[in-house]
């Protein structure tokens, strides 16, 4: 999958299903700030919702129609 290394500790990577749990935890902890800019936090109420979101994003990526990615620092997904 797509991964851009920014430095030895930081990289940007497209979301994959293996990120579902970590992304869901981030959404729950940051829901109020994320919802100011995006709609999906209010529609994400379980890890399964997060998996479905990632699946749709991967389809968009495969169709060359955009993607969602996260920023990792020392292998931890960063808060917005």
Q: Give the global pTM.
A: 0.85
Give the domain extent around 28. Answer: 3-77
What are the CA-CA distances from residue 68 to residues 2, 23, 40 (Å)? 11, 11, 12
CATH of the domain at 44: 3.40.630.30
Q: Where are the alpha helices (DSSP H) in 35-70?
A: 47-62
How many domains does the structure of the chain reveal?
A: 1
Give me the tens of pLDDT residue by residue for the chain, a chain 80 residues long.
789 999 999 999 999 999 999 999 999 999 999 888 888 888 899 999 999 999 999 999 999 999 899 999 999 999 87
Coil, strand or helix at 27? helix
């Amino acid at each position: 999958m797509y991964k851009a290394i920014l430095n030895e500790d930081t990289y940007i990577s497209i979301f994959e299903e293996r990120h579902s749990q970590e992304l869901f935890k981030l959404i729950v902890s940051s829901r109020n700030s994320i919802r100011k800019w995006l709609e999906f936090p209010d529609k994400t109420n379980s890890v399964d919702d997060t998996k479905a979101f990632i699946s749709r994003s991967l389809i968009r990526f495969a169709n060359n129609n955009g993607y969602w990615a996260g920023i990792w620092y020392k292998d931890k997904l960063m808060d917005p």
